[in-house]
Structure 1
Amino acid sequence: MDRVRRGWSVAMTLAVIAPAALAGCGADKEAPRFVSGQVASASPTPPPEPFEFAISPEADAKDLPISTEIGTSVSGGEVTSVTLVEDGGGEVSGSMRDDGTSWVPDKPLKNNKKYTATVVATSASGDEETKTTTFSTMGKSGSQTGTGLYLFDGRTYGVAMPVVVEFFPGVPEKERANVQKRMFVSTDPPQPGTWYWVANGSQAFYRAPDYWQPGTKLTARIALGGHPTGDGRYGDQDRGATATIGGKVTMEVDNATKQLSMFKDDKLVKQMPVSLGKPSTPSSSGTMVVMDKQAQTVFDTFAELGPEEGYRTDISFAQRITWGGEFIHAAPWSVGDQGVRNVSHGCVNLSMANAEWLFSQTKVGDPITVKGTERKLADGNGWTAWNLTWDEFVKGSALPVPADLAPKQRSGSPAPAQSGGGTPTPAPSVTSG
C-alpha cells in the first residue's frame, strides 16, 4: 500500500535550494570553449546520479521513543511507499515530511511494542528497491513535560492569533530544535510562518510575517506525545486542532490622547475614551492579543497586593491581554477620568456601554496595540508574538529559517511595536482594575 502523503506542512524544515543556472543570449547549439588557446570539445552529458537508498531506525533497535519516525535517504530516485505495521496489530497511518527526510506516524506509537517498516524507493530509471527494518519502543516514562495548545477545534479567532504552545517545565535550549521539528502547522490558503521561543522555553509562538488572512483555516499538530523534551523528560501527549480566522478587527490605544480606536478591515469604526494604569502601576506598551473573554468575572488582588492595597471587585466585559493581569474591561467608577487621566492598576478602563459594545465586536486573537506608557511589554507576558518585528521574530526559531521566510521588507506588515486550549496554563494573575 502506498503510504506516502504530504498533507502536513512542517513548521520548520531546512530548505536547500540549488543556485539557478545562468542563461544568456546565443546560438541554438553550445558555443565552443577555449582551453590554453585551443578549442575544447563540448562537455559530455554527465552520468546519472547513482541510485542509493537507506532507511532508519537500524534493524532490531530497542527502547525507541513512541515518536519514532521512519527515516529515508535516497539519491537518484524517490521513496514511493512506506508501510509501518505493529507486531500483532494493524497498519499505522502516516505521511512524509515535505523535505522527504522521514515518514511521520499520524499519532504516537504504543509503548513496549515491536514494529516493522517496509520502504519502497524507485530509481530514476524505474527500478524498485525495497528495504525493511524492525524496531521496538520503550516503556512509558514517568518523567514528563506538560504541554498546552491554545487552539481549539471549530473555534473562530482573530487575525493575530498565534499558535501558542506551553511547556512545563520549559524546554532546555539545546532540545528546542528537536522539539520544534515535531510541531506542525498548515494553513489554507498557504501562509508560511515559523516558531519563536520565549527565552525560558516555557512558550513557543507560531505566526506568519503578516496577520492571517480572514477566512484562513489554521491546523496545528503538536506531536510531542512520548517525544524527548530534555533532561530525561518526554512530552505528555499529542495535541491538535483546526480553527478558522475571522474578520479583521484591530485596536489601538494612545496614552497621549487616552483614546481607544477600533478598526474593522483597517477602517476606523469607533473611538472611546479610556483610563490606563496610573504611574505606580502603568499599562504595558506594545502589541498584545486578546487571550480570553469573560462577560462577568471577579478581580481578587488580596493575595497579590496584600490587605492594604488589595481589593475584590465584580468586573463586566473583561478581555485579558497579558498574563500579568492587564485587561480591557468596564470600569464605571473611572468614567470621569476616562479620556482625562490614568487611574487604573494597569488595565484599559472603559465605560460600561463602551466596554459592552467592544466586547460584542472582538474575538480571542484580535490584536491591541498600546503606546506611550511608562512600561514596555515584557516578552512572554501574554501572547507577545506580534510585539516583535519579523526580523526579531525569526531569530527566536530553534531551526534555520527557509530562504522564503528570511527577513525582508514586506508591505502591509503590522507596524513594529515599541519594544523589541490546553493544559497546563499559567496561573492567572489579576493585579489591575
Structure 2
Amino acid sequence: MTPQSSSSRRRPLRTRHVATAGVAVLAAALSACSGGSGSSGADKAAEKPKISVNLSGQQAKAGGPVEVKLADGKLKNVTVADAKGAKLPGKLSANGTSWTSERKAAPGTAYQVEATTDQGGSAKHSFRTAKPDKVNKVTLAPGKNTTVGIAQPLSITFDNPVRNKAEVEKHLKVTTSNDTEGSWGWIKNYDGKDRVDWRPKEYWKSGTKVKLDADLNGIDSGGNDWFVRDYATNFTIGKSQVVKVNLDSKTATLTRDGKTLKSLPMSAGTPGGDKASWGGTSVLMSKEGTINMRSETVGLGDAYDKMVDYSMRLTWSGMYAHAAPWNASYFGNTNHSSGCVGMSDGDAGWLYRQAQIGDPFEVTGSGSKGVPDPGNGYGEWNISWSDWQAKSALK
C-alpha cells in the first residue's frame, strides 16, 4: 500500500442530524485506505451515506417499532437502547438496507440509536417518545417463586379497562416445563376490572414449572392508556390434592395423589336461598388465619359478627372453609351455615395446615345455589374447555 496523503488519513467520525417530516437523517462519514492519489474508490468511501430513523425529536409517537434505513450500502449492526441500557431487539432486512425493532417504543422514554455499515461508517441518533396520557398497570397471581395447587390459574388483573385485548394477549407468553396445554380467557373480576387468566385444559401435573413473560412495555391497552413496563412471574405446582365437599354426606375429604387422607364432618350453607353454598369447583385463594366475619359484608344483614379461625377463602363473594365451633351440633348431619364450609377447630386446623393455595374444592351434592362466575375467585373450572378457549381474544 502506498503512503497516504495527509488529506486521506483516517479522520474522526462526525455525525450530522437532520430531521425532515418526522424522520431523522444521519450522515456518517466513512474512512478508508487508498492510494496516495485520488481514485474513484476513495471518492466513494468519502461519501456520506444517509441513515434515517422513523422517530425523532422530544415528542416522538410511541407504540410502534423503531425503523432504521440506509440509502446506499448495507447496515452491519443496529442497537436501540433506553437510558438504563435496555435494548429493543430487532432484525436486519434480507438485503441489509433496513432494521426494524421487534418491540415497540415505549412512551415517555429516551432512546439512543447506534448504527454501523459494512463500509465501516457509523452514526448515532437520539429521540424521546411523548409521555402517556394514562398508565395501565397489572396485578399478577401467583406471585414469583411460589408453590401452588393443581387448580391455580395464571391471572392478570388490570387497573384500567383493556380495549385492545387481542394486542395485549399477543404479548403474554406462558412457558411450562412439560408443554401443558392451556388457553387465555378474558373475564371480569368480581370488582368489575378486566382480567385475563391462563387455565390449563386439565388440572396441572404436580412438579410443573410455569413462567409468564408479559412483554407489555410500549403497548397501548386502548384509549391512549399505556403500559410502561414489562411484567413476569414464575411458580411451581405442588402436591396433587383435592378437597371434595359433599353436600349430601356433609363431609369434606382431602385426597392426595388420588388417595384419601382424611374425611372431615362439616356443615355447609343452608339450602334454599342466599345462604346456600356455591357448588362446582372453587379454588383456595388465600389462607387468612383468624379474621372478623360480618354477615353485613355479604348482604345477609346483621346475622353474625364473629372472629373466625383457620379461614380459607374460596370466592370473592365470601365463601370460606373455616372453623365453626358454634355449629358443632350440625357437623356431619345438617347444612346450616351462611354459605361457608364449617368444621370443628381441630379439623379446620388440620385442613388449614395441609391445604395449598390453588387447591381445588370440588363441591357436589344437592342444595347449592349454582356455580360461581369465573371472576368470583377462580371459577373458570366450571366452564367447559371449549367455552373457555372461546374467551381468548385471539380465537
What is the alpha-carbon distance in structure 2 between the residues aligned to residue 246 and residue 96 of structure 1?
38
> 8 Å contact 1:159–1:248 — kept in the other structure?
yes
> 8 Å contact 2:211–2:235 — kept in the other structure?
yes
**Larger-Rg structure:** 2
1:114 maps to amino acid? Y
Q: Residue 233 and residue 336 in structure 1: after superposition, are their counterparts in 2 closer, same or farther (change >3 A)?
A: same
Q: For each residue in 1:191-226, what CA deviation from the matched residue of structure 2 results, as whole angstroms up to 9, or x when unmatched? A: 242201115662111122122221122111333345
Partner residue, 2:113: 116
Q: For each residue in 1:318-349, what CA deviation from the matched residue of structure 2 results, as whole angstroms up to 9, or x when unmatched? A: 11110101111111111211221222111111
What is the alpha-carbon distance in structure 2 between the residues aligned to residue 268 and residue 57 of structure 1?
65
Structure with more relative contact order (C-alpha pairs < 8 Å, separation 6 or more): 1
Q: For each residue in 1:166-212, what CA deviation from the matched residue of structure 2 results, as whole angstroms up to 9, or x when unmatched? A: 1233323xx11011112222112332422011156621111221222
Partner residue, 1:271: 263
SS at match of 1:385: helix
Partner residue, 2:194: 202
> 8 Å contact 2:139–2:156 — kept in the other structure?
yes
Partner residue, 1:295: 289
Partner residue, 2:169: 180
Alpha-carbon offset, residue 82 of structure 1: 7.1
Out of 80, 83, 95, the residue aligned to residue 84 of structure 1 is 80
1:167 correspondence with 2:158 = yes
Q: Residue 304 and residue 367 in structure 1: after superposition, are their counterparts in 2 closer, same or farther (change >3 A)?
A: closer
Q: How does 1:216-255 map to 2 (within 5 A)?
A: 216-235=208-227, 237-255=229-247
1:370 correspondence with 2:363 = yes
Alpha-carbon offset, residue 253 of structure 1: 1.2
Out of 344, 347, 359, the residue aligned to residue 351 of structure 1 is 344
Q: Residue 361 and residue 103 in structure 1: after superposition, are their counterparts in 2 closer, same or farther (change >3 A)?
A: same
Structure 1 unmatched ranges of 5 or more: 1-55, 73-79, 121-131, 401-433
> 8 Å contact 1:171–1:201 — kept in the other structure?
no
What is the alpha-carbon distance in structure 1 between the residues aligned to residue 257 and residue 314 of structure 2?
21
SS at match of 1:218: strand
Q: Residue 332 and residue 193 in structure 1: after superposition, are their counterparts in 2 closer, same or farther (change >3 A)?
A: same
Q: How does 1:29-428 map to 2 (within 5 A)?
A: 58=54, 63-65=60-62, 83-86=79-82, 89=83, 91-93=85-87, 103-104=102-103, 109=106, 111-116=108-113, 136-172=127-163, 175-199=164-188, 202-235=194-227, 237-278=229-270, 279-280=272-273, 281-305=275-299, 309-372=302-365, 373-400=368-395
What is the alpha-carbon distance in structure 1 between the residues aligned to residue 260 and residue 308 of structure 2?
27
Alpha-carbon offset, residue 315 of structure 1: 0.9
What is the alpha-carbon distance in structure 1 between the residues aligned to residue 90 and residue 111 of structure 2?
21
What is the alpha-carbon distance in structure 2 between the residues aligned to residue 90 and residue 305 of structure 1?
50
2:222 maps to amino acid? G
SS at match of 1:284: coil
SS at match of 1:178: helix
1:381 maps to amino acid? N
What is the alpha-carbon distance in structure 1 between the residues aligned to residue 53 and residue 204 of structure 2?
38
> 8 Å contact 2:281–2:371 — kept in the other structure?
no
Question: Among the aligned pairs, what percent are the same residue?
Answer: 26
What is the alpha-carbon distance in structure 1 between the residues aligned to residue 232 and residue 181 of structure 2?
18
SS at match of 1:179: helix
What is the alpha-carbon distance in structure 2 between the residues aligned to residue 71 and residue 214 of structure 1?
45
SS at match of 1:256: coil
What is the alpha-carbon distance in structure 1 between the residues aligned to residue 256 and residue 383 of structure 2?
22
Q: Residue 237 and residue 349 in structure 1: after superposition, are their counterparts in 2 closer, same or farther (change >3 A)?
A: farther
> 8 Å contact 1:320–1:327 — kept in the other structure?
yes
Q: What TM-score do you get using the length of structure 2 for normalisation?
A: 0.70
Structure 2 unmatched ranges of 5 or more: 1-51, 69-75, 92-99, 118-122
Q: Residue 117 and residue 195 in structure 1: after superposition, are their counterparts in 2 closer, same or farther (change >3 A)?
A: farther
Mean CA deviation greater in 234-243 or 310-319 = 234-243
What is the alpha-carbon distance in structure 1 between the residues aligned to residue 173 and residue 132 of structure 2?
24
SS at match of 1:364: coil
Q: What TM-score do you get using the length of structure 1 for normalisation?
A: 0.65
What is the alpha-carbon distance in structure 2 between the residues aligned to residue 90 and residue 167 of structure 1?
26
> 8 Å contact 1:304–1:310 — kept in the other structure?
no
